Amino acid sequence: MKLGFGLITCQRPPDDPRTDAEIYHDAIERAVKAESVGLDSVWVSEHHFLDDGYMPSLLVTCAAIAQATTKITIGTAVLLAPLYDPLHLAEDAATVDLISNGRLILGLGAGWRPEEFDVFGVPLSDRAKLMNRTVKVLRGAWSNELFEGVNVTPKPAHPIPIWLGGFAPGAIKRAGRIGDGFLGSTSGTSGIDAFKEAKHLALEARGNDDFSFALHVPVYVGEWDDVKQYYHYLRWKYPDMGAARGSLQAKSPPPLTPEIEEQLRPTIICGSEDEVRAEIDKFRVALGGDTHFICRSDFPGMPQSQQLELIERLGALL
């Protein structure tokens, strides 16, 4: 089973003293570190117009990671396809793939935040149709044929895998029909059965097993007390995203009460190296050794020294 690191988001909570420039510099350093310890992949994630600076420009960052590394796979988890002109996306992704010498996986999502669709002038109700159109355009643009009367260049260095994310059964089946893989997420080991069902749905829609499966799961190798404040922020920020659209200053989450802590703790794989390895192995046994397991171990606000040490520990799981 392949092991990846992510999801790099470059968020800056209000108590993080770093500048945005330092945040992005540190993100590239973490990607380099992931490669150096032998991890298979590194992943970035997209959202827009958030007060903590959640990364909006995935392929720009992927190009920087590609230039700083030599062998690690670089993936988007996920790029919000309906918000992009698909031909421009085809050109940009091909350029990143060339810079990386064929190391890009393009993970696409349909999106869910009305704020993003409103600002970009894209009807939220069209997102499924736009996702289908994007995949069709990408494949046509990267072919050696004219696409809709034009020669779209450059061509990628390798056939870029298109992995589709989603949660609803319809999105999972769409991944099976038109994608090269499915990219899911779960919390702790409680989501194994749900992901097994997602795998079944995707393969049923595809009609064969020539298909990739990946999921990202929160992981921390170490003591719960050392990660809980950062994990609390990561989980709290998602329901806060709607209010963050018109805010100029990132806000702090509510205090981490014992009640909140009790809810959070089961949703992350956390413990010693042996304990974490055993938990991840449950996914391998249940889902198969061909699953790409992405450790969601990039925590907003965590000091860089602690993040780099965590990546070392993730490498020791191999």
Q: Is-contact 155 144, C-beta < 8 A?
A: yes
Instruction: Tell me which of 247 and 178 has the higher pLDDT.
Output: 178
CA distance 264 to 43: 23
The percentage of the chain sitting over the pLDDT mark of 90, rounded to a whole number, equals 91
Residue 7: is the preceding peptide bond cis (ω within 30°)? yes
The predicted pLDDT at position 190 comes to 62
Tokens of 293: 């397991």
DSSP 8-state secondary structure symbol assigned to residue 267: G
Confidence of residue 191 (pLDDT cuts 50, 70, 90): confident
Domain ranges of the chain: 2-315
Tell me what the pLDDT averaged over the chain comes to.
Answer: 95
Confidence bin at 162 (pLDDT 50/70/90): very high
The answer to whether 214 and 182 have CB atoms below 8 angstroms apart is yes
Give the global pTM. 0.97
Q: At the fourth CATH level, which superfamily is domain 2-315? A: Luciferase-like domain (3.20.20.30)
For 255-276, write each residue's pLDDT tens digit: 999 999 999 999 999 999 999 9
- State yes or no: pLDDT of 127 exceeds 90: yes
The CA distance from 308 to 318, in Å, is 16
Using pLDDT thresholds of 50, 70 and 90, give the confidence band for residue 120.
Answer: very high
Note the pLDDT tens digit of each residue in 134-146: 999 999 999 999 9
Residues near 295 by beta carbon (within 8 Å), at least 6 away in sequence = 3, 4, 5, 6, 216, 217, 219, 314
pLDDT tens, position by position, 34-49: 999 999 999 999 999 9
